[in-house]
Amino acid sequence: MRITAFSPALPCLLAATLLAGCGGGDDSTGSTPTGPVATVTVTPGSQQFASLGVTATFTAQLRDAEGAVITGQSVVWSRRGSGATQVSGTGVVTVVANGVDTIVATSNGRTGQAVVTVQQVPAALALTASATTLTRLGATATLTGALRDANNQPVTGGTIVWTSANPAALPVDGTGKATAARPGSSIVTATAGDVSATITLNVVLSSPVGGPILGAAIACSGGAAGPFPCQGVNLMSFLPVSGVGGGGGIQLNDIWGWVDPATSREYVMVGRNDGIAFVDVTNPLNPTYLGFLPITPGAVANFWHDIKVHNDHAFIVADGAGPHGMQVFDLRILRSHAGVPRDFTANTVYRQINSAHNIFINEASGFAYIVGASGGGTTCGSGLHMVDIRIPTAPSFAGCFADPLTGRARTGYTHDVQCVIYSGPDAAHAGREICFGSNETAISIADVTNKSAPTALSRASYPQLGYTHQGWLTQDQRHFLINDELDESGQGVTGTRTLVWDVTDLDDPILVTQFLGPNRAIDHNHYIRGNRMFASTYQFGLRVIDVSAPTAPSALGFFDTAPELPNTPGFGGSWSNYPFFPSGNIVVTSGNEGLFVLQVP
């Protein structure tokens, strides 16, 4: 048996793996022994970056269970998250995109992490424009803002706010689209955070007849007023859709007017698919956008709105809009306009209808006639839903009328109506309240004097019927002139057709003539003032027709609000017009184009 001598140093050697020293000796000249990795700490623990393309070095400190630092161990670097960073094997992080990443350091199964947040902050802004000089009204320039951060890297997703120093000439919408509204120039400013930049745009109109005079009407001469084909109609001013508060996807529809009895100022209410815009047109060369009344909360934006006025209040309906009701708005609020467009609120909403296609008000009687009601409430077969509005802010239901022998569904659907206190030649009905309805398949004449017991007087249809749309009485109430919205497109009619009815006997209306326009553009809304009919004819624009001899109408002029559209059946261009201002100015809406103030000499 071999006996091995015991060495007194052996216990100290064995303990060296666990203890910093042995026997009280000084071990400061050697490396400190440590245990397995227990924690990994990444420095910095979090980091925020405002620019792309920059780098930062992260470090990992390893410690054992006793808190002693471990050196010499390998560390594996990785990342997880949105992909905002790249990380090298040595902990160098490169910022490549906006987002949030977690930087992970791993050693011997233990991990530590740091959070990196990247959100670029614009430090510079450069502007470009598709054009800096616009030569026709309605022309647009697309403005583009290039944002860069402090490391000169492009900023994505930054929000740019656009403003025009002269919105009357060059309004600019939220996407950076500037529209030529009238001759002039404007400094357009783009702002993103703390940085901004400017660019100057100009409207210098060209015309086949020489050029317009600043601050004056653009006369129709040589077949054009600036870029707009015309005959006998002058252009006073033009506001593009953005000039009445509209942005992308907004179109204009109906229009009506109001003259303030206290100030004699002239205002129009302009239908947008999301509500009603208010514009002061007292100065026809410089109309002023005052503000906007949104659709009723809970309603849905849609193409069809209609507005009429009684006793200094506007009454507004919308079709296909869900629970919109009839908004009532006190127009006298417009007197306090402070120079900055504002949002308005309806004074009340009449809830006995939901959606409706149209409204007419007989100001002589103080009754409103809501037509084409649908979607709930008292629809009255989509005929006349009659409302007492003599107290405008307290409208009350008065009764229904529908002629079930008319309308496509034979419920008496009325698309539009005109109601008057009758003073025409039929003595049997003198002084009665008579309504002339355009009922899809026929005209419908009714006595609604007694709202609880209205009476159908007559109805009449006609050849090549497409859709009986809207009509208006001559001043002497002897003739009723109607338009058909679909006869040009589907019934073989060779020109825009106006149908003239002799209504001297209300019990027996007679179609006496048909007046055809020079092309097949669809007629939409027309109104008669004196001996002139002003007809919004979609893609052909506004037509002015002499009806002094109703059985032999003759063309006086036109103004094409959408010259880029062909004068064929289609639903672009002029929706409606209002020709009843004391000034004689005619205000016209054109769906995608905007608001026109026109003058017929």
> Is the distance from CB of 380 to CB of 403 less than 8 angstroms?
no
* Chain position carrying tokens 């656009």: 162
Q: Which two tokens stand for residue 338?
A: 């402070």
Cα distances (angstroms) measured from residue 505 to each of 414, 475, 479, 549 = 21, 16, 10, 18
- Residue 38 to residue 62: CA distance in whole angstroms: 7
Q: Which two tokens stand for residue 373?
A: 């009601």
> Is the distance from CB of 306 to CB of 232 less than 8 angstroms?
no
Q: Where are the beta strands (DSSP E) in 517-572?
A: 525-529, 532-536, 542-546, 554-559
> Is the distance from CB of 482 to CB of 460 less than 8 angstroms?
no
Q: Is the dihedral of CA 260, 265, 266, 270 positive or negative?
A: negative
Q: Which two tokens stand for residue 506?
A: 């209300």
Residue 595 belongs to what H/E stretch? Answer: strand 594-599
> Is the distance from CB of 68 to CB of 61 less than 8 angstroms?
no
Residues of the chain with pLDDT under 70: 1-34, 205-216
- Residue 522 to residue 572: CA distance in whole angstroms: 10
Q: Which two tokens stand for residue 187?
A: 């400094």
Whether the bond into 44 is cis, omega within 30 of 0? yes
Q: What is the DSSP letter of 213?
A: P
- Residue 414 to residue 384: CA distance in whole angstroms: 7
- Residue 38 to residue 29: CA distance in whole angstroms: 25
Q: Where are the beta strands (DSSP E) in 260-357?
A: 266-272, 275-280, 288-294, 305-310, 313-318, 326-330, 342-343, 348-350, 353-355
Closest CA to 206 of 150, 137, 155: 137
Closest CA to 216 of 284, 170, 281, 267: 284
Per-residue model confidence (pLDDT) at position 34: 67
Please, which residues bridge with residue 421 across strands? 433
Q: Is the dihedral of CA 340, 299, 379, 503 positive or negative?
A: positive
Per-residue model confidence (pLDDT) at position 26: 36
- Residue 367 to residue 399: CA distance in whole angstroms: 11
Cα distances (angstroms) measured from residue 260 to each of 143, 254, 281, 392, 584 = 39, 20, 12, 16, 16
> Is the distance from CB of 334 to CB of 269 less than 8 angstroms?
no
Q: What is the DSSP letter of 336?
A: G
Percentage helix, strand, coil, to 5, in the chain? 5, 45, 50
Question: Three-state DSSP class for 38?
Answer: coil
pTM above 0.75, yes or no: no
Q: Which two tokens stand for residue 292?
A: 């906007």
- Spatial neighbors of 91 by CB under 8 A, at least 6 apart, are 57, 58, 59, 60, 75, 77, 103, 105
Per-residue model confidence (pLDDT) at position 489: 94
- Spatial neighbors of 235 by CB under 8 A, at least 6 apart, are 137, 217, 218, 220, 225, 226, 228, 559, 596, 597, 598
- Residue 40 to residue 27: CA distance in whole angstroms: 26
Q: What is the DSSP letter of 334?
A: G
